[in-house]
Chains A and B, each alone.
Chain A
Amino acid sequence: MDFNLTEQQKMMQKLFREVAQNEVKDNAADVDEQERFPKENVEVMRQAKMLGIPFPREYGGAGADYLSYILAVEEISKVCATTGTVLSAHTSLGTWPIAKFGTPEQKEKYLPDLTTGKKIAAFGLTEPNAGTDAAGQQTTAVFDGENYILNGTKIFITNAGEADVYIIFAMTDKSKGNHGISAFIVEKGWEGFTFGLHEKKLGIRGSATRELIFNNVKIPKENLLGQEGKGFKIAMMTLDGGRIGIAAQAVGIAQGAIDEAVVYVKQRKQFGRPIARFQNTQFQLATMQTKVDAARLMVYRAAMAKENGESHTVLAAEAKLIASETAMEVTTKAIQLLGGYGYTRDMPVERMFRDAKITEIYEGTSEVQRMVISGSMLR
């Protein structure tokens, strides 16, 4: 067992840290305030070849491991959770299924543009009536002998409108329930594919979260991803990996809040001395850091399991559960340490607190994670 990052991972981490601290950090408040998609951050990540980290070089990726990608989400999320969301949804939800389940032709056609960041990817599973119960899909794809005809609406879709390539799940055979769901690769710009409402959110406000509306969209049959009826399995496997990304995001947000708090408590003076000298401050920080480190180890362990091709469904669920709940707790405490200033938008912990909440909800709520974990225990 080795708890150390490899030389390659350390170098990657240094790169991600530089990009985050030197570029992304400066515009995080603006991205939040303006609720705007962080295009400039995507561009700098593209230049640093961070948008295809775990994919093979032959398809334009860096050919690095999954943990390296996880480190990227963590470092970016330390300073801007919105940008972490964009990276995570693009990589593990949008691009990964094509790399894993795509035909050679599909990989050839879509991966190079996605891994090099020329195009951005998204993932459309959630529907108004199919959230935690993802099997309740009402979007349909009917094969007419040549094309699948797609109809329905997806909601809360990250990167919607900004992405060029969408992994869309739809019922191809309602009678089969879960086994009647299929996955498709759908491109922006196809006739009948439009975007609906922009959600106004509590946190990750710069991340585009919109409806996808499909009105008789023709999907060529070669854009069926995997086999017909395997969509639910593809979705769940994709989310197993995606959850590790969200867990890394949560760890990043929490660590970012601690980093801000540490700077503040050394400067802030009350009763004639920096508040860092008070034992309450010291103990709070110690507890916060310990919890974040514990969560981080679980996130890395899940990433390693995925990288090694081991079963990671439960590990990912556990990592996401502890990391997201830790993020909520730690950001709450960070605001408390900063007091009144922490409650204002002059201080980034206020944003981090709002951003943290989503990690308990998307890509499976904490309740879903508990279902997955207990399910494996009580089999």
Chain B
Amino acid sequence: MKIIVLEKQVPDSTEISVDKKTGTLIREGVPSITNPDDMAGLEAALQIKDKNPDTEITVMTMGIPKAKGMLEEGIARGADKGVLITDRAFAGADTCATSRTLADAINKVGYDIVFAGRQAIDGDTAQVGPQTAERLGVPQVTYVDEILDVKEDQITVKKSLEDVEQVVTVKLPCLLTFLSDSVYKPRYMNCNDIVDLQKEDKVQVLTNGDLNMDPSLIGLAGSPTSVKRTFTKDVSDKTETFTLSEQETADMIAKTLKEKQIITK
């Protein structure tokens, strides 16, 4: 079975802060990580491979050349190879254009199942998974929490919705999107696979020279959405901060809540 795991390199959003003077994001020194939802997808694939060693796992990303390091980390976790889609022509792509490029590369590599993260922590769109499925013309199952059964021509998974969980079976080929708070806690890299990485280059690089896509369908030109402006949040000025004794604090809160009729008799 051939599984392609889609990954995205993202800045660690927990480390991002806003420069209060300029109102811009401080991105300097913020480490890049593999998007957490994608890591769940990789772990799910690796667990299939644990049971069935014939499984071939390809980690794939579209990004800057430096994203190769992320793919290598995926290989050091147990994936077989990587595909890095990188070209200036792909830059500035929104989800609509990104999914076109990914689908093209996925078709080129060949697959039985595509695993993706539900959403990336930088863009938070959750659109690339379903849109790639649409481009591939295969069914999707989003919000996958656990894979229950894998057969040659179908897969059964548990998906997690707000109030319910569904057990669904889908025919292959298909695309699944995973949640980082699923049962799939990513395993660590391991020393053996790190050593093996130095023996041969396991990451294939695809440029648009290889994919040969119509320039009007990729990158900025192929993106129907565009960013008009970005801004950081302005802080409200309605605030009043008190430093009182603990008893005074408690009394003042209770009094306020009574006035606002939140505390009633």
A contacts B directly in the complex (CB < 8 Å)?
Answer: yes
> Chain A residues in contact with chain B, CB under 8 A?
7-8, 11-12, 14-15, 18-19, 44, 47-50, 52-53, 57, 62-64, 68
Q: Is A49's CB under 8 angstroms from B197's CB? A: no
What are 11 A-B pairs with beta-carbon distances under 8 A? A11-B189, A12-B191, A14-B73, A15-B76, A15-B189, A15-B190, A15-B191, A18-B189, A49-B193, A50-B190, A63-B195
Minimum C-beta distance from B68 to chain A (A): 11
| Chain B, 165-217, CB within 8 A of any chain A CB | 187-195, 197-198
Contact among B73, B189, B195, B197 for A48, CB-based, below 8 A = B189
Count how many chain B residues have C-beta atoms less than 8 Å from C-beta atoms of the other chain: 14
Cα–Cα, bound, A12→B187 (Å): 15
Of the candidates A14, A44, A50, the one having the most CB atoms from chain B within 10 angstroms of its own CB is A14
Q: Is A12's CB under 8 angstroms from B188's CB? A: no
Q: Is A50's CB under 8 angstroms from B191's CB? A: yes
Q: Is B191's CB under 8 angstroms from A64's CB? A: yes
| Chain B, 44-63, CB within 8 A of any chain A CB | none
B72-89 CB contact bits vs A (8 Å, 1 = yes)? Answer: 110010000000000000
Q: Is A12's CB under 8 angstroms from B194's CB? A: yes
Minimum C-beta distance from B204 to chain A (A): 18
Q: Is B72's CB under 8 angstroms from A48's CB? A: no
A51 — nearest CB in chain B belongs to which residue? B191
Known A-B contacts A8-B198, A11-B73, A11-B197; A47 and B190 likewise in contact (beta carbons under 8 Å): yes
Contact among A15, A18, A44, A57 for B194, CB-based, below 8 A = A15
Known A-B contacts A11-B72, A47-B187; A63 and B192 likewise in contact (beta carbons under 8 Å): yes
Known: A11-B194, A57-B192, A62-B190. 9 other contacts (CB 8 A): A11-B73, A11-B76, A15-B190, A47-B188, A48-B189, A53-B191, A62-B194, A62-B195, A64-B195
**Count of inter-chain pairs, beta carbons less than 8 A:** 53
Q: Is A19's CB under 8 angstroms from B188's CB? A: yes
Cα–Cα, bound, A8→B190 (Å): 12
> Chain B residues in contact with chain A, CB under 8 A?
72-73, 76, 187-195, 197-198
Q: Is A7's CB under 8 angstroms from B188's CB? A: no
Which 5 residue pairs across A and B have the least CB separation, nearest first? Answer: A62-B191, A49-B190, A49-B191, A15-B189, A48-B188
Chain A contacts for B194, CB-based, 8 A: 8, 11-12, 15, 62, 64
Contact among B73, B187, B195 for A8, CB-based, below 8 A = B195
Minimum C-beta distance from A274 to chain B (A): 17
Cα–Cα, bound, A47→B193 (Å): 12
Minimum C-beta distance from A39 to chain B (A): 17
Of the candidates B72, B73, B191, B193, the one having the most CB atoms from chain A within 10 angstroms of its own CB is B191
Cα–Cα, bound, A12→B195 (Å): 9
Cα–Cα, bound, A289→B148 (Å): 51
Q: Is A15's CB under 8 angstroms from B188's CB? A: yes
Q: Is B198's CB under 8 angstroms from A7's CB? A: yes
Cα–Cα, bound, A18→B193 (Å): 16
Cα–Cα, bound, A49→B190 (Å): 5
Chain A contacts for B195, CB-based, 8 A: 8, 57, 62-64
Cα–Cα, bound, A62→B72 (Å): 17
Cα–Cα, bound, A53→B187 (Å): 18
A68 — nearest CB in chain B belongs to which residue? B191
Chain A contacts for B72, CB-based, 8 A: 11
Minimum C-beta distance from B87 to chain A (A): 24
A23 — nearest CB in chain B belongs to which residue? B188
Chain B contacts for A49, CB-based, 8 A: 190-193
Chain A contacts for B73, CB-based, 8 A: 11, 14
Chain B contacts for A52, CB-based, 8 A: 191
Q: Is A18's CB under 8 angstroms from B76's CB? A: no
Known A-B contacts A15-B76, A47-B187; A8 and B197 likewise in contact (beta carbons under 8 Å): yes
Chain B contacts for A44, CB-based, 8 A: 188
Minimum C-beta distance from A70 to chain B (A): 13
Chain B contacts for A18, CB-based, 8 A: 188-189
Chain A contacts for B191, CB-based, 8 A: 12, 15, 48-50, 52-53, 62, 64, 68
Cα–Cα, bound, A52→B191 (Å): 9
Minimum C-beta distance from B253 to chain A (A): 26
Chain A contacts for B188, CB-based, 8 A: 15, 18-19, 44, 47-48
Q: Is B198's CB under 8 angstroms from A48's CB? A: no
Minimum C-beta distance from B39 to chain A (A): 12
Cα–Cα, bound, A52→B195 (Å): 12
Cα–Cα, bound, A68→B195 (Å): 10
Cα–Cα, bound, A76→B122 (Å): 31
Cα–Cα, bound, A62→B195 (Å): 7
B191 — nearest CB in chain A belongs to which residue? A62
Chain A contacts for B198, CB-based, 8 A: 7-8
Minimum C-beta distance from A68 to chain B (A): 7
Minimum C-beta distance from A64 to chain B (A): 5
Chain B contacts for A64, CB-based, 8 A: 191, 194-195
Q: Is A62's CB under 8 angstroms from B189's CB? A: no
Chain B contacts for A47, CB-based, 8 A: 187-188, 190
Chain B contacts for A11, CB-based, 8 A: 72-73, 76, 189, 194, 197
B199 — nearest CB in chain A belongs to which residue? A63
Chain A contacts for B190, CB-based, 8 A: 15, 47-50, 62
Minimum C-beta distance from B15 to chain A (A): 14
Q: Is A62's CB under 8 angstroms from B187's CB? A: no
Chain B contacts for A7, CB-based, 8 A: 198
Chain B contacts for A68, CB-based, 8 A: 191
Chain A contacts for B76, CB-based, 8 A: 11, 15
Chain A contacts for B192, CB-based, 8 A: 49, 57, 62-63
Minimum C-beta distance from A28 to chain B (A): 18
